[in-house]
């Protein structure tokens, strides 16, 4: 771990602010999407699995469980639910018939893209209201946030 010139109190303060602000940002975006998105909101676990499968198409249930820090039987149940909703499909592995690879359906891809567009538009709109300095500060921290995410959850990045 690299040495830091920041005091433990400074690090604790940054950690505290991040812990408070990141979920609040997420909730604010979700509320705005809920107002405009014309489809029913999926439960958080289903959404997390769909986002993961879109990002890592062909992932297996076991790999998805590891990435989501869930039990494979719980992910399997989510797969069944999303398959029934025609948002996810299982494709049998040609070499091992016991293994299924997960793929988003065209409907899932379209809906995820729409949610991404809505969230991006909301954040862009909010960024326009910030000062140049605030936008520059946010831009310079993006790499650090990505690194922090990888340290907290190596499979996420």
Identify the sign of the CA torsion 115, 121, 124, 130. negative
H/E stretch holding 92 reads: strand 88-92
* pTM metric for this prediction: 0.80
- Report the pLDDT averaged over residues 48-65: 96
| 14's tokens | 């940054």
**Contact at 8 Å (CB) between 88 and 50?**
yes
Q: What's the pLDDT tens digit per position in 115-132?
A: 999 999 999 999 999 999
Q: What's the pLDDT tens digit per position in 2-50?
A: 567 888 888 999 899 999 999 999 999 999 999 999 998 899 999 999 9
């Amino acid at each position: 771990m690299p040495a830091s010139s920041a005091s433990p109190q400074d690090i604790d303060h940054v950690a505290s602010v991040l812990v408070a602000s990141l979920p609040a940002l997420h909730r604010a975006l979700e509320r705005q999407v809920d107002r405009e998105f014309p489809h029913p909101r999926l439960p958080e676990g289903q959404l997390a699995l769909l986002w993961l499968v879109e990002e890592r198409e062909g992932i297996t249930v076991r790999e998805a469980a590891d990435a989501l820090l869930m039990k494979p039987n719980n992910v399997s149940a989510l797969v069944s639910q999303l398959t029934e909703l025609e948002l996810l499909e299982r494709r049998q592995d040609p070499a091992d018939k016991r293994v299924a690879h997960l793929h988003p359906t065209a409907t899932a891809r379209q809906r995820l893209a729409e949610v991404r567009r809505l969230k991006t538009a909301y954040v862009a709109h909010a960024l326009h209201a910030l000062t140049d300095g605030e936008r520059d500060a946010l831009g310079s921290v993006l790499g650090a946030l990505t690194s922090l995410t990888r340290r907290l959850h190596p499979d996420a990045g």
